[in-house]
Amino acid sequence: MLNFIDTVGEAVAGIKDGSTVMIGGFGNAGQPFELIDALLECGATGLTVVNNNAGQGDQGLALLIKEGRVKKMICSFPRQSDSWHFDAKYRAGEVELELVPQGNLAERIRAAGAGIGGFFTPTGYGTMLAEGKETRFLDGKWQVFETPIHADVALIKALTADGRGNLVYRKTARNFGPIMAAAAKHTIAQVSGIVPTGGLDPENIVTPGIYVNSIVKVA
Amino acid sequence: MSIPTNDHASVRPGNQADLQTSGKPLGRDDLARLVARDIAPGSFVNLGIGQPTLVSNYLEPEQNITLHTENGMLGMGPEATGDQIDGDLINAGKIPVTELPGASYFHHADSFAIMRGGHLDICVLGAFQVSATGDLANWHTGAPDAIPAVGGAMDLATGAKDVFVMMTLLTRDGASKLVETCTYPLTGIGCVTRVYTDKAVFLTGPDGVQVRETFGCTLEELQTLVPVPLKATV
């Protein structure tokens, strides 16, 4: 069921404490700042957050971490020159980290959306990030078993939605949006514009509306 | 320029000139120029964050190289300046870049399928250590207080057809970064095919290390710095 919602606050109001929340974006590109601010406002806590990074600077995901709402981060690249809020929480033992190679992160999210129970990949074989995982020799290579990452909610950013919830993105801001939309039970997309049904060329749609539950337009 | 004929289709073979020893160690830009020259025309290439990014400054238009950035683009152009800067168009280092004609955008799972599926010809990465058999350590010092961050390093190391490393041969303390066995946490096993350093170009693989050329030292002098057996390329 697709809903067009007037405010970001209403869009995130149903997110419960302890939820697993996927947040789109790579760095700041594609990060749904307005939805994250609303999530901070609504007070949900004890969250497991899936994102490539662990927040930049003093905005968006970084603030969610700073305010202690994030119990666990699942990400590939937390440490950056401006990841000070994550760094402080991690060093204080106040946030758990599951570090995942970036391609495994993407493929595990994709697997969840595609109903795949797990997959073998050579990435990470023989490294500390594969310790304790099942391995098999397949196609002439040692490979590691990886499991899907499911989520209760995905918060993503797209450029334009149509009346059916079909989405198009802009440049490298697309990044995790399409796969997170498919992997979460409930996907909330913030968009810059909404066009009537039929207003997007069907050949160019990136995320079909079937994956999208709530759309909210932000300025 | 010759058409590549060796079994790594995307990599030019060393020629007689390459085997000569040149006068002095290479600076970062000279090294980047050398790597750029060695990338075969028409290749699809991913340049890692940091020193490898310099290679893009020396790719010639007639080489027709397509750059991949793992956040979701093929056909990446130079760094954006002034009015070109667009927060939605960044590279893996989160630096604003530009798009070239023929560029394409795709989501993250597709972008990593390009790596993991073996479609990239070459990736160029930095390293803490490379072993004689091409093991790579470049993501984590292993220090207990370090916050680990891996990004796409393991996918690139494992997925690209050829993995080139660019690094200084020695640490600040004078220890060789080309080692018998990596002591830093591994990124990938047996994945590195070439190591470009300020003092020499090494070819690594299951048969050990060959030296393609040296800069400012002889093979014998190089051997005193590096704790693995070296031989000249044949």
Find the CB nearest B154 among A91, A106, A124.
A124
Chain B's closest residue to A26, CA to CA, is B71
For A56-109, the pLDDT digits (tens) are: 999 999 999 999 999 999 999 999 999 999 999 999 999 999 999 999 999 999
Give dist(CA A171, CA A26) in Å, integer.
Answer: 12
CB contact under 8 A, B154 and A123: yes
Structure-block tokens of residue B185: 């946490």
Instruction: Using alpha carbons, select from B141, B136, B168 the residue that is nearest to residue B155.
Output: B136
Report the pLDDT value the prediction gives residue B207, as an integer from 0 to 100.
83
Question: Which pLDDT tens digit goes with each residue over A23-43?
Answer: 999 989 999 999 999 999 999
For residue A173, which residues of chain B lie inside 8 Å, CB to CB? 87-88
Known catalytic residues of B are 70
**Residue B11: predicted pLDDT:** 40
Q: ipTM value of the model? A: 0.96
pLDDT in tens, A148-184: 999 999 999 999 999 999 999 999 999 999 999 999 9
Strands A214-217 and A3-5: parallel
Does A125 contact B112 at a Cβ distance shorter than 8 Å? no
Q: Which residue of A has its CA nearest to B153?
A: A101
Q: What is the mean pLDDT of residues A206-218?
A: 98
B contact test, residue of A171, A179, A191, A207 with most B CBs within 10 A? A171
Distance, in Å, from the CA atom of A158 to the CA atom of B212, rounded to the nearest integer, reads 49
| Cβ distance of A76 and B152 shorter than 8 Å | yes
* Tens digit of each residue's pLDDT (9 = 90 or more) over B34-49: 999 999 999 999 999 8
Q: Per-residue DSSP letters for chain B?
A: -PPP-SSSTTBPPP-GGGGSEESS---HHHHHHHHHHHBPTT-EEEEPSSGGGGGGGG--GGG--EEEETTTEEEEEEEP-GGG--TT-B-TTS-BEEEEEEEEE--HHHHHHHHHTT--SEEEE--SEEETT--EE-S----TT-----TTHHHHHHHSSEEEEE--SB-TTS-BSEESS--SPPSBSS-EEEEE-SSEEEE-STT-EEEEEEESS-HHHHHHH-SS-EEE--
| pLDDT at residue B5, rounded to an integer | 35
- What are the φ/ψ torsions at residue A109 (nearest 5 degrees)? -70, -45
Q: DSSP letter string over A47-94?
A: EEEE-SSS--TTSTHHHHHHTT-EEEEEES----TT-HHHHHHHHTT-
Q: What is the DSSP letter of A29?
A: B
Dist CA A141 CA B58 (whole Å): 35
For β-strands B230-232 and B209-215, DSSP reports them as: parallel
The residues with which A4 forms a beta bridge, in sequence order, are A215
pLDDT band, residue A132 (cuts 50/70/90): very high
Task: Calculate how close chain A gets to B134, using CA atoms only, in Å.
Answer: 13
- Cα–Cα dist B17/A74, whole Å: 49
Q: Is B117 exposed, middle or buried (0-12, 13-18, 19+ CB in 10 A)?
A: exposed
φ, ψ of residue B191 in degrees (nearest 5): -100, -25
Q: Answer for the pair B127, B136: CB distance below 8 angstroms, yes or no.
A: yes
Given A99, A102, A172, which is nearest B73 (Cβ)?
A: A172
Backbone φ and ψ of A63, nearest 5°? -70, -35
**pLDDT digit string, tens, across residues B80-121:** 999 999 999 999 999 999 999 999 999 999 999 999 999 999
The residue ranking higher by pLDDT, B2 or A199, is: A199
Residues of chain B with pLDDT under 50: 1-19
Put residue B107 in one of left, alpha, beta given phi > 0 → left and psi -120 to 50 → alpha: beta
pLDDT attached to residue B20: 57
Specify whether the CB–CB gap between A198 and A166 falls below 8 A: no
Q: CA geometry: angle at A154 spanning A153 and A155, to 5°? A: 120
- Overall average pLDDT of the A34-57 stretch: 97
Would you call B150 and A77 a contact, using CB atoms and an 8 Å cutoff?
A: yes
* Alpha-carbon radius of gyration of chain A: 17
Structure-derived torsion over alpha carbons of residues B121, B122, B123, B128, reported in degrees to the nearest 10: 140
Q: Which residue of B has its CA nearest to A31?
A: B88
